[in-house]
Amino acid sequence: MLTKELQTQSLPYLHLHDKIYQALQMMNDNHVTHLPIVEGDKYIGIISEEDLLLADNDHQEINTLQQSFGNASVKSDEHFLKAIQIAAENGLSVVPVVTDDNEIVGALPYNDLLKNASEFMSLNEPGGLIVLEIESNQYSFNEISKLVETNDAQITQLNTSNDPETGIMQVTIRINKPDISDIIATFQRYEYNVKYYFGEEQYANELRDNYDNLMNYLKI
């Protein structure tokens, strides 16, 4: 999904001649700590609540704080996950969306981006999560997928990250099956290092342990 396709909260833009107190009020009204600044249709930059509060006089115009303007933004034809990356790297509560000509077309609140990411990754759907650790040169998507499919399940999401110092790859896979005990057993049988897993059977085991502990307590 591209950033221009997201349906999110509509946010106001700031202008260079707006007063600082007005900008702070807009941020407060919209529950954000950043807002983009525009001149006409052009994106000028983004400013934070923290920088506004440092001003000596809140009746100053925003253009007196240009040294504090940030320039982070995402293009309208980029994937929305890029916006999440930019927000995380720059500590932003809002990510401006611009065209190739630097015209602003929207502003994405970080909370809305996270909601879209949750839907994109089907986190509200039943399923399990498995995290594997393997040597980078031994990674095979085809083999991992085949091992999952032999247990009548499918991979709905897969992400990888590498540690350049150790050469270890962490593979996070989401499975469309809440009970993943058989899949875990298969990975272990093929000597995969299962670092974490979260599935239905984990909660069942926890409930069983709690029940057993309670029964033992009552026998005392």
DSSP structure string for 159-195: EEEEETTTTEEEEEEEES-S--HHHHHHHHHTT-EEE
- Residues 75-130: pLDDT tens digits? 999 988 889 889 999 999 999 999 999 999 999 999 888 888 777 666 666 788 88
pLDDT at 144 over 50: yes
What's the maximum distance between 2 C-alpha atoms anywhere in the chain?
76
Give the pLDDT band of residue 161 (cuts 50, 70, 90): confident
pLDDT at 219 over 60: no
C-alpha distances (whole Å) from 40 to each of 15, 43, 112, 142, 149 are 9, 8, 26, 51, 54
* Domains by residue range for the chain, with CATH: 3-118 (3.10.580.10), 128-211 (3.30.2130.10)
> Please, which residues have CB within 8 angstroms of residue 4's CB and are 6 or more apart in sequence?
76, 77, 97, 105, 106
Give the pLDDT band of residue 204 (cuts 50, 70, 90): very low
